Amino acid sequence: MIKEVIRKKGLTYYRVAKDLGIDHASFHRSMSDDGNPEWKRIKQVLDYLDCEIILRIKRKEVKPVKSESAKSRRSKRR
């Protein structure tokens, strides 16, 4: 996602790394699909890009409720 924002803003990894004072190769590795950047680095890049991450609770899947008539039929059989 960060890589897409960098591209959309017309920037390069080299430019972002240079502006942030980060080693270009290290920055590129950490932002790759196999990378594992520290939160500190992610926050630094997001601030540079003027972006933020918003967390929200996932919506739970709502299970359909069985009709009242189906419940009453089952209880009558017992």
One DSSP character per residue, 36-74 reads ---HHHHHHHHHHHT------PPPPPPPPPPPHHHHHHH
The total number of structural domains in the chain stands at 1
- What's the CATH code of the domain at 17? 1.10.260.40
The Cα–Cα gap between 8 and 28 comes to 17
- What's the whole-model pTM score? 0.66
Q: What is the pLDDT of residue 32?
A: 87
Task: List the chain pLDDT tens, one digit each, 78 residues.
Answer: 888 999 999 999 999 999 999 999 999 998 888 889 899 999 999 999 999 999 999 888 777 777 666 556 566 665
Give a yes or no: residue 51 inside a domain: yes
Please give the pLDDT value at position 68: 65
What's phi and psi for 37, nearest 5 deg? -70, 150
Residue 61 forms part of a structural domain: no
